[in-house]
Structure 1
């Protein structure tokens, strides 16, 4: 070790001056010059003596210790300890200086590239704008992926998934295989599945984080037409005409003759390719309507389909078969923002006339239950959403059950 090197380590390489070297090192990494004054709030006697030896004069009194970096730089140069002054001294003691600003800029550019394809898709899908902001504010993508490169792979796949949504009657595994090249890419627990499910909730008008559990996950995917499997997706109906030529048709015929509700799986409906003939089909949101109609009307109940909240893939498939059979639809649901969001999805998909589901019907029902949640439009009757916003109460479907059953009972055969 040379004399200059030994002297440098004696002056600045000890524990008592480590704080000073560390401060200068951080400044240099941040792209700031080693000038000005640094202060140690509470200095030990040893730290104060080390600075006095370094500068060759008293370091002041009091608890704090202030050091002029310009004076240290000048001393190192004038004494011949380092020709490059304080910067050179810190490099020799701590190693090369990182360019944190450059690293941060490069990292920011990498993350921007990671989101590029997704952002291009969101730019054309205004319904996803809030969800995209949520991704940014929560940092969920950075938590789920280790690097920007890994995030780019996941987000590119996510964009491919979203380009296919909503997509009625599509199995989740097939969606994953066709968009990601991996039939299990959207399986529960995978980072991409977490992101895709939050996007599905956004498209369905649900909270982005959503509830946990298999039922909530199944419902969120079903809201955009994706089903997890053919057997767990169900639809409840009553009074639908069947036929004697297919298994599903025979089930419907038997249930209608008995006046009993019928539960169909997506598997059954996917295998039933014939249109289901019908005239006016009423759609309700809650199973209690179907149960009451079966109790009161039995075999005389006209065609009734229950959406069961967010329509499942089985619900959409049944409505599709009914529409192909010439059916027209009338809809009733809960008078709350969630109910309007569900109805809007049904209206967009198959169209309907409101069944006691307009502004006048809402105003006629007393309720003290407060209306909460995010407002949603009612395209079949724009005044309904405005009336709900003004009144601020929700009306559950059960409160008008007698009127609904009376309508069903008076329907022409």
Structure 2
């Protein structure tokens, strides 16, 4: 500015600093913040008499008699410069009267750059993993990370740890606390309730082929982690079996032997399976079912004569995976049966990818034969591929009928007797 600073400020306040013309300063400030030029006109609808007099004092002329006032910004800028009230013009005048103008364009660019930097470790962790593409896009579309964190600075730390967790999934079987300690340096980092735990659980669900959000129950959380080989503790992860052979020289072998002799189902914990050293010798074929009702019916019907049978109990827990690995290492082969619905197909495909099996009354001919004798419910959900028999997916999609495992128990029991 030029001339006497005090006199300039006083003149500026008389022309542009009163409350009746604050609306004009506010409009100019918004334009400056958005990086827009101070050209054209601005209009105030329904102006009061005081607001009209303030504008007339600024412009030195009448502004009409209508309800609204229009002011050309170039004219205001010229008046401020020529009068000496603010030789640097309108933009400088607004800053002198109301403080510095924020550069919102620059702030937005810096904020976007900060968020890109925050997500960079996670983007590197998911790059090339097609199974996580949808999940990564979902994080952006829902704004979940932005809602769970206070800003890009906090998010950067969360996403860096999340990337380390994602790189370790799926796991071959690890406690959640150990996973947290090894990836985040804190055994409680993945405890329920934190932003990191919420995001990591959604990643686990995505890897397991589940919806990215699910039921908030402890059981749903446990199942989602188990689907990617992570267990919350060694005692809550269990597997149900019947008729598995045992031995006399290991604790697990003696348990299995006692249960087989008694013809009773046996619930094994992940702790017991983890402490077993070496494979579990299994004679030939081990049949797998999806639902505990098959185990119960087989125990009632065959007792000690039941051949080896393992229940995956829906989506397999870490204990199920561990038992199947021990049996496979011992030379077992597997035959699988499950529900004829899309969830059952997905579970069967996951088991087949992990250990391999041949169908046990679980193909298109078996499905069509079941429809001839039982009445199933409506088949809902999205069709899933059945790699062991593509015709099964086609038949189920065409018929649209769900057949639960319980409805074909008689055929399964007949095979077990044979």
TM category, shorter: over 0.9
Q: What residue is the counterpart of 1:181 in the other structure?
A: 185
Q: What residue is the counterpart of 2:331 in the other structure?
A: 326
CA distance in 2 between partners of 1:381 and 1:64 (Å)? 75
Shift of 1:349: 0.7
Q: Counterparts of 1:10-409 in structure 2 under 5 Å?
A: 10-278=14-282, 279-366=284-371, 367=375, 369-409=377-417
Shift of 1:360: 2.1
TM-score for the superposition, normalised by structure 2: 0.94
CA distance in 2 between partners of 1:301 and 1:42 (Å)? 89
Shift of 1:368: 5.4
The answer on whether the counterparts of 2:118 and 2:156 sit within 8 Å (CA) in structure 1 is yes
For residues 103-156 of structure 1, the C-alpha deviation after alignment (integer angstroms, 9 at most, x for no partner) is 111111111111112112222100000000110011111112222132222212
SS in 2 for 1:2: helix
For residues 272-312 of structure 1, the C-alpha deviation after alignment (integer angstroms, 9 at most, x for no partner) is 12322222111111111111111112111111111111111
SS in 2 for 1:365: helix
The answer on whether the counterparts of 2:376 and 2:404 sit within 8 Å (CA) in structure 1 is no
CA distance in 2 between partners of 1:331 and 1:63 (Å)? 81
For residues 306-344 of structure 1, the C-alpha deviation after alignment (integer angstroms, 9 at most, x for no partner) is 111111111011111111111100111122222122111
Q: Which moved more, 1:143-152 or 1:234-243?
A: 143-152
SS in 1 for 2:22: helix
Q: 1:10 to 1:370 in 2, by over 3 A?
A: farther
CA distance in 2 between partners of 1:41 and 1:371 (Å)? 61
Q: Which moved more, 1:377-386 or 1:235-244?
A: 377-386
Q: 1:89 to 1:361 in 2, by over 3 A?
A: same
Q: 1:53 to 1:368 in 2, by over 3 A?
A: farther
Shift of 1:158: 1.3
The answer on whether the counterparts of 2:164 and 2:184 sit within 8 Å (CA) in structure 1 is yes
Shift of 1:11: 2.1
CA distance in 2 between partners of 1:210 and 1:269 (Å)? 29
Report the number of matched residues: 410
Q: 1:9 to 1:392 in 2, by over 3 A?
A: farther
SS in 2 for 1:330: strand
Structure 1 residue ranges without an equivalent (≥5): none
Q: 1:66 to 1:391 in 2, by over 3 A?
A: farther
TM-score for the superposition, normalised by structure 1: 0.95
For residues 44-76 of structure 1, the C-alpha deviation after alignment (integer angstroms, 9 at most, x for no partner) is 232222222222233334433322212211221
Structure 2 residue ranges without an equivalent (≥5): none
SS in 1 for 2:401: coil
CA distance in 1 between partners of 2:369 and 2:360 (Å)? 14
Shift of 1:192: 1.0
Shift of 1:14: 1.9
SS in 2 for 1:404: helix
